[in-house]
Chain A
């Protein structure tokens, strides 16, 4: 006789017929928080990897590849922890390679296409400055993994933000063409900034539990840092446009699907492939 599949015992089951939903809630907030952190790093890391062999110079090629590597390192830690928090036997690889586009929780900014080098640097400045401020706070997270990865990665991300600032200044305050391209890149990325500071139910709950951070608290600091770089680059801050939101709930642009097709093709086609 065929046996029935095993029944999932919910985390909150007390074994005495009662159910404590708070454990399930805690687990789900932690899982979602780790996915957001991991997916931001993973998707931007993959984007930067697309530059490999195509950058304007070999030094820039190395910079972009190394930043991508840092980000993928973060993603590995966050997504492995997300898999452990979820408790269904998925690890970081399973989450990276076997989820579909609607299950990704990254922000819109990181999935934006590379465009030219100026557009890539605009994205990097806007994201790394935010990630640096975020990780500085997450070093105090009550979740041990988040705190440890943040403390480890904040030094690397500080470097990313500095590198991006230098390029934005150099291109913005450069030739007529570099300036035009830098401004165009900034115009493209600008509307994705408000999403970084969105406190939805999950983010609010994560901050209340001490595992996440209140991103609104460093908005002014972020704006001041970006404004200082743009001033030195003699660039104009773009006009605020209608923000695009929803990445944290799985609503993404068409670009993410194409990115995933490239990133996931091999492990999905050859599930048992190893190096």
Chain B
């Protein structure tokens, strides 16, 4: 199932699904106030019903808190292909422009179109892009 706000990565790729067992699915929100949380729960419920698992419970946990470290490698590759720079742990390496690969990039705004993204700009190809914030 795809994320409602970044419809290119699955909620498993994003690390939102923490555990799946025979009787429950455990979810965690990315951000405390992420408005997609309820939508995701509704989508999971619909998918479970459709697959004939009407009795499976959906639980939400805050602990341990979600981190971008949980985004899978395939999830990061998909984000990049979609034009969103995947998160890079602070201080490790520079943010790479998802369009041209240049690391001559700068932050425009700490917050972007959703709580999990920041707005950046590439100084080489001059394109603005979203950066999935390290969190």
Residues of A within 8 A of B (CB): 45, 59-60, 62-63, 65-67, 69-74, 76-77, 144, 147-149, 151-153, 155-156, 159, 162-163
Whether A59 and B32, one on each chain, are in contact in the complex, defined by CB atoms closer than 8 angstroms, is: no
Whether B33 sits at the interface, judged by CB under 8 Å, is yes
B-chain residues with CB within 8 Å of residue A62 when the two chains form the complex: 109, 111-113, 119
In chain B between 55 and 74, which residues have their CB closer than 8 angstroms to a CB of chain A? 61-66
Contact of A159 among B35, B61, B66, B110 (CB under 8 A): B110
Bound Cα distance A144, B62 (Å): 10
Q: Tally chain B residues at the interface, Cβ within 8 Å.
A: 21
Given the known inter-chain contacts A69-B115, A73-B34, please indicate yes or no for A155 contacting B135, CB distance below 8 A.
yes
Is B108 on the interface with A (CB-CB < 8 A)?
yes
**With A and B bound together, what is the CA distance between A71 and B111 in angstroms?**
15
The CA-CA distance from A159 to B32 in the complex, in Å, is: 13
User: What is the CB-to-nearest-CB distance from A62 to chain B, in angstroms, rounded to a whole number?
Assistant: 5
Residue of A nearest to B135 (CB): A155
Given known A-B contacts A70-B32, A73-B32, A63 and B111 have beta carbons under 8 A apart? yes
Within 8 A of A (CB), among B90-127: 108-113, 115, 119
Cβ-defined contact, B115 with A66, below 8 A: yes
Contacts of A144 in B (CB 8 A): 63
Query: How far is the CB of B89 from the nearest CB of chain A, in Å?
Result: 13
Residues of B within 8 A of A76 (CB): 33
Which residue among A60, A67, A73 has the maximum number of chain B CB atoms within 10 Å of its CB? A73
Which residue of chain A has its CB nearest to the CB of B30?
A152
Bound-state CA distance A70–B110 (Å) is: 14
Which chain A positions have C-beta within 8 A of B65? 148, 151-152, 155
Q: Which residue of B lies closest to A64 (CB)?
A: B111
Known: A62-B113, A148-B62, A152-B63. A72 touches B108 (CB 8 A): no
Assess the B33–A71 pair: CB atoms within 8 A: yes
Establish whether residues A149 and B62, one from each chain, have CB atoms under 8 Å apart when the complex forms. yes
Asked if residues A156 and B32 are in contact (CB atoms below 8 Å), the reply is yes
> A62-B113, A155-B135 known; 7 other A-B pairs, CB under 8 Å?
A62-B112, A73-B29, A73-B31, A74-B32, A144-B63, A151-B63, A152-B63
A67 to B32, CA, bound (A): 11
Tell me the bound Cα distance from A148 to B112 in angstroms. 26
